[in-house]
Amino acid sequence: MDYYPATYSDAHGSEVTTIANDSETLRLLLRGVEFVGRDFDSLEPTCAAPEQLRQFTLNQGCLCSCRIECRISVPVHDGGKLLEGSLSVELVLGDAAPNGGLDREKLQIVLEYNSQQFDGCGTSGWFEDELLGIQSQMPEEVFIKACINCLYSDYSPYGHGLFGSMMCFRNLKAEYLKVTTKEEFWSVHGRQDRFVQETYLCPDFERRIPGTGYRE
């Protein structure tokens, strides 16, 4: 279990809390109510009384109209050394929109390690693009050692969520490594070992080679 120091803010005020992450589910306690979800924008209350829920704004049962800030520790491989890095994550979840979604969703990620700072663009709205944007600023021999940069991770052509919906093909390593196009990817799609988070790390990690699989 990983624990991320976090700050939650909305129209009712701000509070310091902690996000617990078991590599599949996120949990955080806010004003006496536990919120649970697989993604940062799908956090739902559990076992809460109506008067407790009046402290929050929900859209389709999930938290919205708020700001969530947290720090996620990640290892950074630099010149043969494994250093401790930290991702500063700021997510703004807007108000409910007429189409059932949110009127805005803004994600900003900053990597800090070894007295250096790398900022994501803050415009993509996805952990994928923000982390890859950060990675593109780093020297070739330096990389975040996590699923986002793993040789056996990919995304579904059908699309994916903000966080935590990477497909892990560590169970089909040889077969997956033969995939180089979207058409070839369908032969392994749906047969993944599991879904993983971009910031997760397991013993099967190998650095990704550009051109492997469906994603670049």
Average pLDDT, integer, range 87-92: 97
9-18, 144-153, 163-172, 173-182: least confidently modelled range: 173-182
Q: What is the pLDDT of residues 164-184, one digit of tens each?
A: 999 999 999 999 999 888 889
What 3-state DSSP class applies to 134?
helix
What region, left, alpha or beta, does residue 109 occupy, with left being phi > 0 and alpha being psi -120 to 50 degrees? beta
Q: What is the mean pLDDT of the chain?
A: 93
Q: What is the pLDDT of residues 56-87, one digit of tens each?
A: 999 999 999 999 999 999 999 998 899 999 99
Q: Please say if the pLDDT value at position 211 is more than 80.
A: no
Please give the DSSP secondary-structure letter assigned to residue 115. T
Distance of alpha carbon 72 from alpha carbon 141, whole angstroms: 22
Closest to 148 measured CA to CA, from 190, 104, 85: 85
Distance of alpha carbon 214 from alpha carbon 189, whole angstroms: 10
Distance of alpha carbon 45 from alpha carbon 34, whole angstroms: 6
